Chain A
Amino acid sequence: MDAGLDGDQGLTRVAAFLHRRAGVRLSLLLSAPLAWLGLAYLGALAALLVTAFYSTDTFTGELVRTFTWANFRDLVTVEVYRTIALRSIGVALAVTAIDLVVAFPMAFAMAKLASPRARRWLVIAVLTPLWASYLVKAYAWRVMLSSGGLLGWGFGVTATVLTLAYLWLPYMILPIYAGLERLPGSLLEAAGDLGARAGRVFRTVIWPLTFPAVIAGSIFTFSLSLGDYIAVKIVGGRSQLIGNVVYDNIGAANNLPFAAAVATVPVVIMLIYLAAVRRTGALENL
């Protein structure tokens, strides 16, 4: 903001100018975040989409910048990609469901039953696993699931779902906990006073009011699971998800265009998911 030759006077003038022009002030304040959002965030996505219509020279590995539908045609016509996409959606849904079932009672206990002192400790306990490395946690599950391990269930899709459900659990607990905390205890007491049993209170009071929070949590667990490729490499046995196809095409084959085409699949799935969520009205209450 050093606008003038003699700093102080120049600064005052700039401040006065900005004070008079609210529009300039606003646009200056917004320009940095908007540039970030537009260039770095959406721009990267746009670049991805554009790349998906290119191809690569198979020998030199250079991008061939001519428009082609070939990548998307392969994506739709080759059966294996559909199988992998459906498997990935299945895994993401299963992870979300498991996390919801585990997280809701946990969050309820934290928000409504625990003393304020215990609540603080419980929040810390939920957050602590986030401080440990992703890999350490995934390998811990590998050790537990391996045949000589604590559980010994072996590797595969089920193992992947379990591991991901464990990894993303805090992302489900925290939004629901925040939602439940905002729910006034008096509403629950009122429902009880009017004779509603626990099930009815849950169905008619708690669930509708915390639904947006549940949706927020599910967006986290669903999208994080959909994009994951490391956990499945560690505990997935011979299985693979969308992320692995993207990774293999960039890392091994240097086929960025096809990888970009594959990467649009989770983006589209998330857009559909968000559109569906929007229809329920949950987004307006967030």
Chain B
Amino acid sequence: MRPTGTVITAAALVLVTACGGGSTTPTGGAAPAPGHTGFVPPKIDALQNLGTGEGEVNLVAWAGYVEDGTNDPKVDWVTPFEQETGCQVNTKVAGTSDEMVTLMRTGQYDAVSASGDASLRLIAAGTVAPVNTSLIPNYTDVFDGLKSKPWNSVDGVPYGVPHGRGANLLMWRTDTVKPAPDSWSVVFDPNSPYKGKVTAYDSPIYIADAAVYLMATKPDLGIKNPYALDDKQFQAAVDLLKQQKQIVGEYWSDYTKEIQAFKSGDSVVGTTWQVIVNVAKSEKAPVEAVLPKEGATGWSDTWMVAAKAAHPNCAYRWLDWIISPTANAQVAEYFGEAPSNAKSCEETADAEHCETFHATDETYFSKVHYWTTPIAQCLDGRTDVKCKDYSEWTRAWTEIKG
């Protein structure tokens, strides 16, 4: 009834961190070729030469991605950019991926920090153009594990520069959950000793977490990609979650709510983000987190340039700036994720940042299935079946919660 500023901020924060990444993940040899998503994007040419800046640039971004010191005077990577390039930055903060898509369609914006569940839609609709990475010097230092992925490129053509990434982890209270878990089974087992104290992420995309678990435990279902589920696979994931509901104490979607629940002991085990672990630990909650052996879901965001950008030169300069070691380190630390630029690790205020967020650990991220919006065309390349799209995931989620 009364969504105040706080709830909107909270929701934005949740969505920022929640809506990430791409489609397929190289968890073995089964992943299809990068960019193979079963559609042909409209032909749009990338910028060929970098000209002089237009004096301003209009950005659509997640909260916390474009900070000019107004939220926290110490957090500012926009002012140096403006001083160096002469491009005045105008930011529109979007709360959801859908809002981002809608804003970009207006044609008033030059660049966007799209998550994997928005990027493909933007590419398919011709809203964003391919990116000429030779005009972005810092692109060479971006981790190879983030380049030319299905959520930021099509058939090897890059459509943006990677911003940062993170994984959804399994967190537990060390004083009650013994021995330390290394598998998601602790949150899916109906006979879990932690019944009523299990927590799960409150979003339809959480169905993918169940699918990741099924990939390991029920290989005969043949799930290759947790975001490409046919009827049978989808039903198995939904059934697993309905069974899980019996042991769930509460679903969380607001990250302060989860921190509080773990501090008070209302929740003792469940899915989490690295930033939550850090905050909870700093508030003296006895928690630890692990990337379980089955792998996990996660996010990876991409900066993209509008096809009809009015300020393309400033937009390219912004893309180069936001993945430059200093700025990338600042934004990764402020937001709590792994930076995309390898050199950022030397620039972080906390020397341990890259280690904490596993920035250089490709084996760690090879087990992460970056979030993406499920569509009817199966993202794993199957053409003989139809997959469940996101609106069906949403309805199923309502049914799971009952």
Which residues of A pack against B, CB within 8 Å?
56, 58-61, 74, 78, 80-81, 83-84, 133-135, 142-143, 146-149, 154-155, 224, 227-230, 233-234, 236-240, 245, 248-249, 251-255, 258
Contacts and interface: CB of A to CB of B under 8 A. Distances in A.
B265 A148 contact: yes
B371 to A, nearest CB: 12
14 contacts: A58-B375, A58-B391, A59-B124, A59-B375, A61-B121, A84-B398, A133-B6, A135-B7, A143-B260, A240-B398, A252-B204, A253-B204, A254-B96, A255-B391
Interface in B360-402: 375-376, 389-391, 393-395, 397-399, 401-402
B375 A245 contact: no
B188 to A, nearest CB: 15
B143 interface: no
Contacts of B282: none
Interface string B245-283: 100111101100100110011100000000000000000
B interface SS class = helix
A239 B400 CA distance: 11
B2 interface: yes
Contacts of A248: 204, 394, 397-398
Interface in B85-122: 96, 98, 101-102, 121
A252 B394 contact: yes
A58 B390 contact: yes
A240 B389 CA distance: 23
Contacts of A142: 257, 260
B391 A245 contact: no
Contacts of A245: 398
Contact of B250 (A148, A227, A238, A255): A238
A145 to B, nearest CB: 9
B176 to A, nearest CB: 11
A284 to B, nearest CB: 28
A230 B3 contact: yes
A238 B249 contact: yes
Interface residue tally of chain B, by bracket? 35 or more
Given A56-B391, A248-B397, A133 B4 contact: yes
Interface of B: 1-4, 6-7, 11, 96, 98, 101-102, 121, 124-125, 202-205, 245, 248-251, 253-254, 257, 260-261, 264-266, 375-376, 389-391, 393-395, 397-399, 401-402
A95 to B, nearest CB: 13
A270 to B, nearest CB: 14
A148 B245 CA distance: 23
Contacts of B1: 134, 224, 227-230
Contacts of B7: 135, 230
A135 B102 CA distance: 29
Contacts, number: 109
Contacts of A228: 1
Instruction: Pick the most buried of B7, B202, B391: most chain A CB atoms within 10 A of its CB.
Output: B391
A61 B265 contact: no
Contacts of A154: 249, 266
A228 B394 CA distance: 20
Nearest to B197: A147
A155 B250 contact: yes
B124 A149 contact: no
B19 to A, nearest CB: 9
Given A58-B376, A155-B249, A230-B7, A255 B264 contact: no
Nearest to B390: A253
Contacts of B389: 58-59
A240 B204 contact: no
A77 B389 CA distance: 20
B203 A134 contact: no
A220 to B, nearest CB: 11
Contact of A80 (B205, B266, B398): B398
Nearest to A223: B1
B124 A233 contact: no
Nearest to A145: B266
Contacts of A81: 398
A230 B2 CA distance: 8
A56 B394 CA distance: 14
Contact of B121 (A60, A84, A249): A60
Contacts of B375: 58-59
Contacts of B398: 80-81, 84, 240, 245, 248
Contacts of B394: 248-249, 252-253, 255
A254 B376 contact: no
Contacts of A252: 96, 203-205, 390, 394
